[in-house]
Amino acid sequence: MQLRLGDRVYDIATRALVMGIVNRTPDSFYDQGRYFDIDASLKLAEQLVADGADIIDVGGVKAGPGPEVTEEEELERVIPAIETLHDRIDVPLSVDTWRAGVARQAYAAGAVVGNDISGFADPDYLGVSAEAGATVVATHIRLKPRVRDPEPEYPNDDVVTAVSDFLLDRATRAEEAGIPKERVVLDAGLDLGKTWEQSLELLRASARLADLGYPLLLSASNKTFLGRFLELEIDERNEASLAAAALGVTLGCRIVRAHDVRGTRRVCDVLAAVMEAA
């Protein structure tokens, strides 16, 4: 299987890519605004690349509920960072946004991936991405970003089938919009409209989702579902995150979005060596 990011082609048959997280938000669930300052976010990105990140994902609005962030505010947060990082680091840049207007300007600034947790809810998102030659991430979410969903239910109590059908539909939409298959990535959206039990079930079903035929992104790092069943605070979930990464990659995930890039890179490299030796 191949993945295209900008003008780069990656063979991801055995080697998973690591996507480092840079949140230019004052209320990130994990770092609580530690990297909201532009200089802090740039230094973080450079350190993540030094630690082995293959991709840097820059976001300006957290997924969960919080104060309103206008499109203008989001642009002010992400575009300067992407412009500067495009000149400073030699890895593909991703923009974590569900707004087509933000994606358009991010692509012009140097991003080559649109990481959209809304499942392409903005009707212009795919067209903007196709025109830019960008790769897109189709993520499952039950409601909308920033909307609390405490008791999600799925038909026949089958979250895996619901997510699988949703993702295949979004991948088809992306291809119909002119985005080649090798530029379409799927993400089960762990914690996004799922109970912690449903997120665990989806992680366990990664092989089934990978069988849809598109690169599968795992975004489990420090998430609520890991803390709930182990009763861990956010700053205590690193080992659980690495365990989730190891399981996900073993079952077919080929991009791992992570806060601990160094540890995740090592996990992925060990698994690649094992798979290549088989």
Active site residues per annotation: 223, 257
The closest of 155, 227, 154, 225 to 195, measured between CA atoms, is 225
- 157: left (phi > 0), else alpha (psi -120 to 50), else beta? left
**What CA–CA distances, in Å, run from 88 to 82, 83, 84, 216?**
10, 9, 6, 28
Cα Rg of the chain (Å, integer): 17
Amino acid in position 14? T
The closest of 197, 196, 216, 221 to 206, measured between CA atoms, is 216
- Could you give the CA distance from residue 153 to residue 198 in angstroms, rounded to a whole number? 10
Whether 48 and 22 have beta carbons less than 8 Å apart is answered as yes
**What CA–CA distances, in Å, run from 61 to 102, 112, 255, 278?**
11, 19, 21, 42
